[in-house]
Amino acid sequence: MKAASVEWQKSEWKRIDKPKDLIGKIKEYLEKAIKEQVDIIVFPGFTGVFFNQLNCPDNISLRSLIKEADSREYIEQVKELSREHKIAICPGSYWQREKNNIYHETCLIINGEVQLKQRQIYLARWERELGFSRGEKIELKEIKDWKLALIISTDVFYPQVSRMAALRGADIVLCPAGFTGEKNRALPLSGLWQEVQQNQFFAIESGFNGFLGEQSFWGESVIYAPLEMTKKGDGYLARNSGQQSLIIAELDNKKRRKVISQFDVLSQLNREFYQQMKIFRGRWMQ
């Protein structure tokens, strides 16, 4: 499987001032990916929220954006693009209202249909302060003999989330992400890079380097693999260094399984202990 991750610098986000411009840019990158024979592509975290912001240019704060939280128009536009472009699309993340709750959510779209949804399970401080609700479960979807999971932003720093996905058999994790605060290139090491090494799946992360209201965000776009599968033994199949806006890597599941056969991390776990933990009971286990 060939995978791609998108990263747009802040200057690029600033040039987008209408919803149709954002959809046009997404279409442009889908066409680039298809030209490279990519099977699956991940767009940056908060892309759907940015779309809503363009629809409400007078909203200048996160709190006012939340009042307009509705991803339906954005998702419908991406679904339409998906019908025209034969590629699996993770459209970044977005905010979704359900009754009186607001969730940070992402999905996987194939052939114009949403095949998998995921809500963020653990919230950043600013999300808690704004009254977001937490997701409660993690789901997987099998696509062409690959099991895929979605993990959003803050959840990469909670090992139990990745472990849940791994114990249920995830081969690939898709991660639209975005973080507040000063950019820290060491932070991803404590996030998804670490989870890939201790769970032995592939991961595709796409970072948001834009802004929502008055708040700036940052992130990196990286395609991760177990150390033994990477040329430099560093866990990176492809990494954006600010020079590219689309990074691509081939994911070889046979090679990954060979690595696992030599040292199977998950086989070392005490699964009975995990079963005693409430969040891992029943459906969490493979």
Count of domains observed in the chain: 1
Using one digit for the tens of pLDDT, what is the confidence trace for 204-238?
Answer: 999 999 999 889 999 999 999 999 999 999 999 99
pTM confidence score: 0.93
| Residue labelled with tokens 């996030």 | 191
| Nearest in space to 74 (alpha carbons), one of 100, 98, 104, 94 | 94
Residues whose CB is less than 8 angstroms from the CB of residue 271 and which lie 6 or more positions away in sequence, other chains included: 167, 285
Cβ atoms of 218 and 178 within 8 Å: the answer is: yes
Domain that holds residue 122: 2-284
Instruction: Flag whether pLDDT at 106 surpasses 60.
Output: yes
Cβ atoms of 118 and 107 within 8 Å: the answer is: yes
Using one digit for the tens of pLDDT, what is the confidence trace for 75-90?
Answer: 999 999 999 999 999 9
| Predicted local distance difference test score (pLDDT) of residue 281 | 57
Residues whose CB is less than 8 angstroms from the CB of residue 120 and which lie 6 or more positions away in sequence, other chains included: 93, 103, 104, 105, 127, 132, 134, 135, 152, 153, 154, 155
CATH code of residue 123: 3.60.110.10
Helix (H, G, I), strand (E, B) or coil at 36: coil
> What gap in Å lies between CA 176 and CA 204, rounded to an integer?
8
Q: Which tokens belong to 131?
A: 């009254």
